[in-house]
């Protein structure tokens, strides 16, 4: 698990929007998705964002 993955996760949770989270961190949306996926694998769970 890496600190950036946690930062990305928090931003997605706050915005409920992968594209906005990516924009705020100046990375691509697919990259945010990849990092959230990796975080899920390492934490043995699925992150669910509902708004």
pLDDT at 50 > cutoff 60: no
Does pTM top 0.85 for this prediction?
Answer: no
> Does position 7 have pLDDT exceeding 80, yes or no?
yes
pLDDT for res 48: 64
Mean pLDDT of the chain: 89
Pairwise pLDDT comparison (10 vs 47), residue with the higher score = 10
If one counts every other C-beta atom within 10 angstroms of the C-beta of residue 48, the result is 5
3-state per-residue secondary structure call for 1-51: CCHHHHHHHHHHHHHCCHHHHHHHHCCCHHHHHHHHHHHHHHHCCCCCCCC
CA dist 11 and 5 (Å) reads 10
pLDDT at 49: 62
């Amino acid at each position: 698990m890496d600190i950036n993955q946690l930062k990305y996760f928090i931003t997605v949770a706050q915005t409920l929007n992968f594209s906005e989270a990516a924009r705020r961190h100046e990375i691509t949306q697919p990259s945010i998705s990849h990092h959230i996926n990796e975080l899920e694998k390492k934490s043995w769970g699925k992150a669910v964002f509902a708004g």
